[in-house]
């Protein structure tokens, strides 16, 4: 089990309980969220929506075996109209949000929640959440999609598992914004899934299976924010507290970090594909400035770099 270099935060631990009948994930993020959110400087409620979606994206990505890029994307009619988070198979995460400030203020004014964190679906509105896995040209794009319905983001995600994968799943997400004492964002999630194949199920009679699943969910749901955000506890400590009486087996773990894949050359290539007219409309003082939407890095190009006469 490769756990020796596993960080308490910015990591995911995969585990089995009840003799391999259920598998789970425990994800805790801090620096990744701080890095993503400080680069954008969104209003607090928007940062919270992006942070929660980042935890969910990391969780969904961790359940898929892929070599390439996992992307979670939402499109909706609320004040936060779009979220994009991507997670590479090497564990590099980045993300951004699109939002309308007036719409956000009006919405929060109506609900008297101005400046406060709200459940993500309130600010996302109606629309969908989709995820894709791009493994390059070798394999097809894998895609999942679900309507944004539910009181919480975890309810939306559970709808996906119910409708599309038909695997018994439970998810609980946690979020903590910077407070007086701590200037850091904290996000976490725990997930439990019944294994789709017989495998370890043999040990549980069909009649008892439902009861066993309900019991496992109760233990998972008992995890609280104080515990999951306690930096003195590592993932094994937390999981041991929840599932020590249920044949807990940790089988995999990995670290994550923030990293954007933008660079000058890529951006130059993109700009070079624009027409001369489009480029001319972007020129100011003989220069073109472009900002990476994922990390807010600014790039400046001379006109001559893009339009080669």
> Which parts of this chain interact with Zn ion (CB under 5 A)?
260, 262, 292, 294-295, 297
What is the nearest approach in angstroms of Zn ion to the Cβ of residue 292? Answer: 3
Q: Which residue in this structure is represented by tokens 């089990």?
A: 1
What is the nearest approach in angstroms of Zn ion to the Cβ of residue 288? Answer: 17
What is the nearest approach in angstroms of Zn ion to the Cβ of residue 296? Answer: 7
| Backbone φ/ψ region at 91: left (φ over 0), alpha (ψ -120 to 50), beta | left
Distance CA 97, CA 277 (A): 29
255 DSSP β-pair partners: 11
Q: Which residue in this structure is represented by tokens 């979020």?
A: 175
Alpha carbon separation from 172 to 52, 76, 184, 188, 229 (Å, rounded): 11, 23, 21, 8, 14
What is the nearest approach in angstroms of Zn ion to the Cβ of residue 98? Answer: 16
If the CB atoms of residues 233 and 262 are measured against Zn ion, the closer one turns out to be: 262
What is the nearest approach in angstroms of Zn ion to the Cβ of residue 294? Answer: 4
150 DSSP β-pair partners: none
If the CB atoms of residues 22 and 258 are measured against Zn ion, the closer one turns out to be: 258
Residue 262 burial class via C-beta count within 10 angstroms: exposed 0-12, middle 13-18, buried 19 and up: middle
If the CB atoms of residues 48 and 295 are measured against Zn ion, the closer one turns out to be: 295
What is the nearest approach in angstroms of Zn ion to the Cβ of residue 293? Answer: 8
Q: Which residue in this structure is represented by tokens 């600010």?
A: 123
If the CB atoms of residues 70 and 213 are measured against Zn ion, the closer one turns out to be: 70
If the CB atoms of residues 95 and 121 are measured against Zn ion, the closer one turns out to be: 95
If the CB atoms of residues 147 and 297 are measured against Zn ion, the closer one turns out to be: 297
Residue 233 burial class via C-beta count within 10 angstroms: exposed 0-12, middle 13-18, buried 19 and up: middle
């Amino acid at each position: 089990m490769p756990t020796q270099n596993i960080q308490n935060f910015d990591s995911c631990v995969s585990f089995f309980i009840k003799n391999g009948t259920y598998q789970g994930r425990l994800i805790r993020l801090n620096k990744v969220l701080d890095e993503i959110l400080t680069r954008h400087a969104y209003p607090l409620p928007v940062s919270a929506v992006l942070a929660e979606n980042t935890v969910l994206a990391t969780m969904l990505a961790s359940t898929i075996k892929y070599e390439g890029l996992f992307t979670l994307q939402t499109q909706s009619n609320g004040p936060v109209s779009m979220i994009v988070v991507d997670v590479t198979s090497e564990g590099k995460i980045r993300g951004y949000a699109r939002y309308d400030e007036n719409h956000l203020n009006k919405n929060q004014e109506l609900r008297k929640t101005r400046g406060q964190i709200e459940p993500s679906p309130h600010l996302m509105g109606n629309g969908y959440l989709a995820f894709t896995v791009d493994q390059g040209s070798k394999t097809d794009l894998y895609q999942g999609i679900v309507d944004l319905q539910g009181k919480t983001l975890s309810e939306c995600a559970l709808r996906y598992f119910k409708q599309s994968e038909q695997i018994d799943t439970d998810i609980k997400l946690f979020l903590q914004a910077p407070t007086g004492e701590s200037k850091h964002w904290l996000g976490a999630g725990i997930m439990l899934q019944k294994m789709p194949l017989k495998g370890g199920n043999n040990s549980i009679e069909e009649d008892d299976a439902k009861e066993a699943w309900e019991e496992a969910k109760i233990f998972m749901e008992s995890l609280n924010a104080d515990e999951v955000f306690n930096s003195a506890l590592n993932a094994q400590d937390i999981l041991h507290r929840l599932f020590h009486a249920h044949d807990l087996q940790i089988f995999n773990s990995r670290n994550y970090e923030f990293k954007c894949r933008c660079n000058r050359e890529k951006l130059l290539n993109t700009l070079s594909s624009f027409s001369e007219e489009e480029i001319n409309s972007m020129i100011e003082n003989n220069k073109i400035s472009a900002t990476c939407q994922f990390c807010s890095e600014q790039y400046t190009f001379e006109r001559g770099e893009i339009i080669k006469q």
